[in-house]
Amino acid sequence: MIKVYFALFLGVICVSLASIFIKLIADVPSIVITAYRLSISSVILISYSFLKNKPLMLNSKKDMAAAALGGLFLSAHFIFWIASIKYTSIPSSVTLVSTSPIFVGLFSYLILREKQNTAIVISIIMSIAGSIILTCSDGGLIIRSLNQKALMGDVFALLGAIAVSGYFIIGSYLRRSMDIIHYITLVYGFAALFSLCFSFAFNERMFGYKTSSYIFMVLLAVVPQLIGHTSFNWALKYAKTSVVSIATLGEPIGATILAYIIFRQGVNLIQGIGMAIILTSIFVAARKGKKEPA
């Protein structure tokens, strides 16, 4: 399990940089950022597959449909989450989007019939409690001074969490029979295609932005996407779906520290309590998440 823990740790470090890069791409719409992020990643992966003479398609129509659905979920996840960063603070956004264990635990039980032990159930409950506290504080509901913009950002982040839970579940199913490179090339490719379609459907322009924005979009594709998310996808073959998702809750720690250093975005007491409850859930379930041998 040492390799699994290292992969999850590396994934958390890399994805923690995503919100920082996104915040620095202020002039580009979330759909376009998503399209660039996934398209650049896909081009790199497809090029690698051709060089290594690796197949891109699947023989099973069922698996191809699952890969396409996973790509749709991944595209939706990034669109909602990137939009949330434009409305709410980085600490709140990355914490709420990381609440996917709430939905993964439910969906993996209903769809995959994957049993959830007591530790994981407790962690899910803790995540729900922490999310409620954080959202109420961020949206001004506790002090009765509604901040509609921040509240909308929180809602987008939660929608991103729901979408990525579907992505994790489908990934767990496909990784049983697919190697990691084949899997991410196919799913990222579908996600890029959906994102481009959404960009054209909403009449978003793809060019004419600042040079620095394109540089950060390339970094977004390479560091958080190719390295970070690939680390999580690799771990899906050896750890339970819920645990890989719970491990992503480590992202708010790194992102919050970076947001304070770079943007001076602080965290108030109530937000801190909500975040602490959510992050504590990582440690409640982490030692109980190893897959049982087949």
Per-residue pLDDT of 96-115, as tens digits, reads: 887 777 777 777 677 767 77
Confirm whether 33 is domain-assigned: yes
- Integer Cα distance of 73 and 67 in angstroms: 10
Tokens of 225: 């996407």
Per-residue pLDDT of 47-83, as tens digits, reads: 998 888 877 777 788 889 999 999 999 999 999 999 9
Lowest mean pLDDT of 41-55, 121-135, 140-154, name the range.
140-154
Does position 294 have pLDDT exceeding 60, yes or no?
Answer: no
Residue pointed to by tokens 């975040």: 275
CA distances in angstroms from 256 to 64, 74, 134, 196, listed in the order given = 37, 23, 14, 30
Confirm whether 294 is domain-assigned: no
Contact, 37 vs 217, CB < 8 A? yes
- Integer Cα distance of 239 and 241 in angstroms: 6
- Integer Cα distance of 193 and 185 in angstroms: 12
Confirm whether 200 is domain-assigned: yes
Tokens of 6: 């290292």
Contact, 27 vs 86, CB < 8 A? no
Which residues constitute the domain of residue 139? 2-288
Number of domain units in the chain? 1
Average pLDDT, the chain: 84
Contact, 173 vs 166, CB < 8 A? no
Per-residue pLDDT of 4-55, as tens digits, reads: 888 888 988 899 999 999 999 999 999 999 999 999 999 999 999 888 887 7
Confirm whether 185 is domain-assigned: yes
How many angstroms separate the most distant Cα atoms in the chain?
A: 60
Q: Which residues pair with 290 in a beta bridge?
A: 239
Confirm whether 225 is domain-assigned: yes
Q: State the pLDDT confidence band at 292, using cuts at 50, 70 and 90.
A: very low
Percent of the chain whose pLDDT exceeds 70: 88
Does position 241 have pLDDT exceeding 70, yes or no?
Answer: no
Count CA atoms within 13 Å of residue 171 on its CB side.
34
Confirm whether 201 is domain-assigned: yes
Angle at 232 between CA 214 and CA 128, to 5 degrees: 100
Confirm whether 65 is domain-assigned: yes
Buried b (16+ CB within 10 A) or exposed e, 226-241: bebbbbbbbbbbebbb
Check residue 223 and give its pLDDT. Answer: 95
Confirm whether 177 is domain-assigned: yes
- Integer Cα distance of 224 and 13 in angstroms: 8
Does position 163 have pLDDT exceeding 90, yes or no?
Answer: yes
In this structure, which amino acid lies at residue 140? G
